Amino acid sequence: MSRETTPREDLLRGVWRENPVLVQMLGLCPSLAVTNSVANSLAMGLATFFVLVGSSLLVSSLRKLVPHEVRISTSILVIATFVTVADMALEALVPEIHKALGAFIALIVVNCIILGRQEAFASRRPVGRSLLDAAGTGAGFLVALVLIGGVREVVGSGSFLGVPLFGEHYQPWVVMILPPGGFLTLGFLLISLAALARRRERLAAEARRRATRGELATEGA
């Protein structure tokens, strides 16, 4: 039997330990397609956050009223409703970014992260816990997109949020804002995270060995 999680774990696991993009490798289509700038990454991340939190709230609130046979189709309908709201809001508030994102806003409906959290968590937990889980997962997705978008825009355009960083003599790596740049950036981030995790494990193992030697020395004395 799996251990019951705490509210703090529900909130934080999606941000880092179970990050949907950098750990679970989910939602890679928008993560690679729209992250050629920080602005696009922020817009997609915030839209997904809104849909995830809103749909989790409604699915969890109605979980005892929806028959098991239509639970998934009901969740998809709820998600589609919030996606429509997000799509209309982006078109009204930031039309240029909405145009750049294109069909990927509508494709949030089929994002496996959102439906997965509804089916695995929101449809089985109280509203408060479902909101914590949705907020953590949505924040983790947003952080991953901004990381990828930040690297691609800085290297590929020499700017951050459209603000030039290196002056007019900088020669941008144009490949970074093209589709291959998404794969290169994601690979770089995954390698960096794996190296960091390996270093932490090595330091923890060394600390355990030192503690063991200290205990043996104490017993010998």
Cα separation of 155 and 146, whole Å? 14
Summarised one tens digit per residue, pLDDT across range 149-195 is 999 999 999 999 989 988 888 899 999 999 899 999 999 999 999 99
The model's pLDDT over 60-95, given as tens digits with 9 standing for 90+, comes to 999 999 998 899 999 999 999 999 999 999 999 999
More confident residue, 30 or 43: 43
For residue range 111-153, what is the model confidence (pLDDT) as tens digits? 989 999 998 899 999 999 999 999 999 999 999 999 999 999 9
- Let me know the angle formed at the C-alpha of 32 by 31 and 37, rounded to the nearest 5 degrees: 85
**pLDDT surpasses 90 at 40:** yes
Q: Is the pLDDT of residue 216 over 80?
A: no
Query: Does a structural domain hold residue 45?
Result: yes
203 located within any domain: no
Please check the confidence at residue 220 and state whether its pLDDT lies above 70: no
Q: Which pLDDT score, from 0 to 100, does residue 37 have?
A: 93
pTM as predicted: 0.89
Q: Which domain holds residue 123?
A: 7-156
Q: Classify residue 1 by its DSSP letter.
A: -
Number of domains in the chain: 1
Is position 211 within any domain? no
Annotate 6-75 with three-state secondary structure. CHHHHHHCCCCCCCCCCCCCCCHHHHHHCCCCHHHHHHHHHHHHHHHHHHHHHHHHCCCCCCHHHHHHHH
Q: Looking at the domain assignment, is residue 177 inside a domain? A: no
Q: What is the pLDDT of residue 1?
A: 40
